[in-house]
Structure 1
């Protein structure tokens, strides 16, 4: 949990704050000169961040950072025959090496996604209110308008599914790696690529099931 969560906090924090800032600026630009009230920016940023940006972008980034690290760690143990030695001693290596990582990810990644959603909204506020795009009252009005708790439920469902995908795929790639350092590098790359593709597919499926 420390490696996956605390070790990834800074990168998730930075990405989240800039996602919120850019989202607010882009929507303010797109809605400029229209009849749509300006406080809608806060409403749009809030729902887009909670439903899509915080879980998906954060987990795509974590797939690259955490996924490659897990694949390289377990793959290195496989190549150095540490896993074979543990199996000879009667240790269930899959439950000893893989299960703790999956459980830790299922606990800490949803918390990271929740923090990312909050930070992203703060980033949108910092980027739009002090620069004079609209007032603080308008932004807060948008944040408080038409809130549905079901959207938070969708966010946590996505974060749990994505956490399982990125850790299980990375553990699989590392656990069954063969060859030398070149194959280990390919396994780490494959873990990231496969994890990202599966996360995007799962994102579409979850959106289709829970929102349509």
Structure 2
């Protein structure tokens, strides 16, 4: 019994190390082939993967800003710190909430789409056909998606920060009675450009994670429709886990 448990655990560890190695090699190969990127395809992918994600990102972040303001505004007013609400909301949104939630939303929408698309291509042997035609799948498929997600994530974060603070202001003004000037002045006093820049920098890393994980799972999807579904689910789950893990270390490096 103990031997079987140890064997199963050892297999899991070896499989994890092997998958981590393959994922790292794909990332390195993608970086090496960035110079071969087809910019027309990159722009097309930016429109498909980034611009089309804007509505759901804005809706999610606006609701988050409103909820965060609900939880803080009344208490801060009761404690006589109403003049700090806007700044607190802006800093929390810019540093943590916006980049992480945008990453989660994009992982669920874009990471899944990338894994499903490449998984379908792999199952239907389209990727093998590319190799037969001497076209490198990494240059043709992975690099454009990688660049598109990495470049669009900071753009989504900028729009999300703006709409998130509007949501926070709506609640602070109409629910807690905090004046518009007080809210805006608090943001100007407490928040700094570096807070927003740090969140944008985080989002670039998150975009790289989403793109590489989605491409890796798609290119290694098991055969059959079920395999594509499993690869899609695994892509979303792994991307979100890595986003939360990397967010901790990035927060320490950037802000501490």
If the TM-score is normalised by the length of the shorter chain, which range does it land in?
Answer: over 0.9
- Number of equivalent positions: 211
2:128 to 67, 80, 84: 84
* Structure 1 match to 2:205: 161
Q: 1: CA distance between counterparts of 2:156 and 2:192? A: 21
Paired with 1:15 and 1:4, the residues of 2 have a C-alpha distance of 17
Residue of structure 2 in register with 1:27 after alignment: 72
> What stretches of structure 2 of length at least 5 have no aligned partner?
1-45
**Of 83, 90, 94, the match for 1:50:** 94
Mean Cα displacement is larger for which, 119-128 or 80-89?
A: 119-128
TM-score, normalised by the number of residues in structure 1: 0.96
Gaps of 5+ in 1: none
Specify the structure having the higher radius of gyration (Cα).
2
Q: Would you tell me which structure has more helix in proportion to its own residues?
A: 2
Task: Provide the residue aligned with 1:17 in structure 2.
Answer: 62
TM-score of the superposed pair, with normalisation by structure 2: 0.80
TM-aligned CA distance change 1:150 to 1:121, over 3 Å: same
Question: Does 2:236 match 1:184?
Answer: no
Cα-Cα RMSD: 1.2
Q: Give the superposition deviation at 1:152.
A: 2.0
Q: Deviations over 1:133-172 (max 9, x none)?
A: 2111211121111332221221111010000001110000
Among candidates 171, 177, 181, match of residue 215 of structure 2: 171
Find runs of 4+ consecutive structure 1 residues off by over 6 angstroms.
none
SS of aligned partner of 2:82 = coil
Residue pair 1:54, 1:114 contacting (<8 A) in 2 also: no
Q: 2:153, 2:200 within 8 Å by CA — same for their partners in 1?
A: no
1:150-208 Cα distance to aligned partner (Å, 9 max, x none): 21221111010000001110000001112211111111000000000000011000011
For residue 188 of structure 2, the aligned residue among 139, 144, 147 is 144
Range 131-140 or range 2-11, more displaced: 131-140
The alpha-carbon deviation at position 88 of structure 1 amounts to: 0.5
Instruction: Quote how far apart the aligned CAs of 1:57 are.
Output: 0.5
